[in-house]
Amino acid sequence: MDQQPGNAAPARDEVVTVYDAEGHETGTAPRSRVYEEGLWHASSGVLLRSLDGQRIYVHRRSPDKAVFAGMHDCIAGGVVDPGESPEQTAVRELAEELGVTGITLTPISRISWDGEWAGRPLRCHLFAFEGRHDGPITHQATEISDGWWWTEAELRAHLADPDWPFVPDTRALLANHLS
């Protein structure tokens, strides 16, 4: 799936790792092509809990995001770049989106999600980690527009509402994780 000469991606079109349906790396492609053609890729992120484990950090995605713009999420994450492991991606994304560094991450879930966005297939292998941190939180404005702490019960109550604008892949990822 490597980019071929003559199919140059726009200068700002990030190249990401492409996978097959079983989760094996098959090459790379520009992010725009991955989204346009519904290619399998991987995403990794972090569910951030307070140090006492009683609260979860929930945020609203920026209205300028390429997918799931303006929706709520509780995973700070993004696509796995070429040469990165899912854990390296999670560490990078947590630092970029929430300004959190130097915490221990524990794997909590992995699923393959075959969904849809804007009338096109969106296929992703999702890797989730959990970290503990009480602050500070510093949003990257191009990624996160707002954020707050909720108890797990508050988050579950919102997730039970199918009309609440929550990122569908994280909703699927958390289906078996939240008690």
Tokens found for residue 159: 């997730």
Burial of 143 (0-12, 13-18, 19+ CB in 10 A): middle
Q: What pLDDT is recorded for position 178?
A: 76
**Residue given tokens 């490597």 in the structure block:** 2
Q: Are 48 and 100 in contact (CB under 8 A)?
A: yes
Q: For the whole model, what pTM was predicted?
A: 0.89
pLDDT in tens, 96-144: 999 999 999 999 999 999 999 889 999 999 999 999 999 899 999 999 9
The structure tokens listed for 68 are: 């799931």
Give the helix/strand (H/E) hosting 97.
Answer: helix 86-98
Cβ contacts of 122 within 8 Å, gap of 6 or more:
35, 38, 67, 113, 115, 116, 169
Question: Is 58:147 a contact under the CB 8 Å cutoff?
Answer: yes
Residue 29: the pLDDT is 97
Cα–Cα distance between 128 and 105 in angstroms, integer? 9
**Burial class of residue 84 (count of CB atoms within 10 Å of its CB; 0-12, 13-18, 19+):** middle
Q: Tell me what pLDDT residue 176 has.
A: 76
Domains and CATH numbers, the chain: 15-174 (3.90.79.10)
Give the lowest-confidence range in 11-15, 32-36, 167-171. 11-15
Confidence of residue 13 (pLDDT cuts 50, 70, 90): confident
Residue whose C-alpha is closest to residue 137's, from 86, 89, 103, 165: 103
Cα-Cα-Cα-Cα dihedral sign, residues 159, 163, 164, 168: positive
Strand stretches in 62-119, DSSP E: 72-73, 75-79, 106-117
Sort 139 into a burial class: Cβ within 10 Å, 0-12 / 13-18 / 19+: middle
